[in-house]
Amino acid sequence: MKFSRVIMLLLSVTLFLNMQCEDDPVSLPQSNCVSLALIDSFSYENAATSPYTINDVIINDDCLIITVTATGCNGITWTMQLLDSDSVDETSPPQRYAKFFLINDESCLTEVSRTTSFDLSTLQIEGENEIVINIDDYPDPVTYTY
């Protein structure tokens, strides 16, 4: 008796999980950048990063292009992210605060430089056409005009 209830429960769960619904496809903005800049105040405050040095930051259209150096083998396995604090200073132009995060599990001690890019369109502020982005560990603020 108990065995048939278990089978009936498993069958019900299987049928429930097998139901397919027609969801609208989710579309992400088209971008020539490698990743999107994310707005996440919790991760901005709490995420751990591997040591790195920012060598250069430039903006090309909606892409922030950043070159960093860290120790590693070749940098191919690095995970890189740009996180915004979700805090906007109401100056003219408005200012945002971002951090670059690197996850580097490579055990080699060679200095490696890598360049990546982040789509900044997620950081745009409605009613504005320019913002200043202050990136932690980079001395100069960058101006993003859109």
Report the chain's mean pLDDT, rounded to a whole number.
87
Q: How many CB atoms lie within 10 A of CB 117?
A: 21
Please give the Cα distance from 30 to 41 (Å, whole number).
25
Please give the Cα distance from 37 to 61 (Å, whole number).
14
Please give the Cα distance from 132 to 93 (Å, whole number).
7
CB 133 within 8 A of CB 64: yes
Eight-state DSSP code of residue 75: S
Considering only residues 45 and 28, tell me which one the structure prediction assigns the higher pLDDT: 45
Question: 27-31, 84-88, 99-103, 113-117: lowest mean pLDDT where?
Answer: 27-31
Neighbouring-strand partners of residue 117: 65
Q: Give the model's pLDDT for residue 3.
A: 47
pLDDT digits (tens, 9 = 90+) for 48-93: 999 999 999 999 999 999 999 999 999 999 999 999 999 999 999 9
Residue ranges and CATH numbers for the domains of the chain are 32-145 (2.60.40.2370)
Contacts of 47 (CB under 8 A, 6+ apart): 81, 83, 99, 101
* Percent of the chain topping pLDDT 70: 79
Read off the tokens for 5: 């209830």
Tell me the CA distances in angstroms from 13 to 6, 37, 73, one per residue in order: 11, 38, 47
Q: What is the mean predicted confidence (pLDDT) over 41-47?
A: 96
The pTM for the full model equals 0.77
Amino acid letter, 123: L
Q: Give the model's pLDDT for residue 15.
A: 45
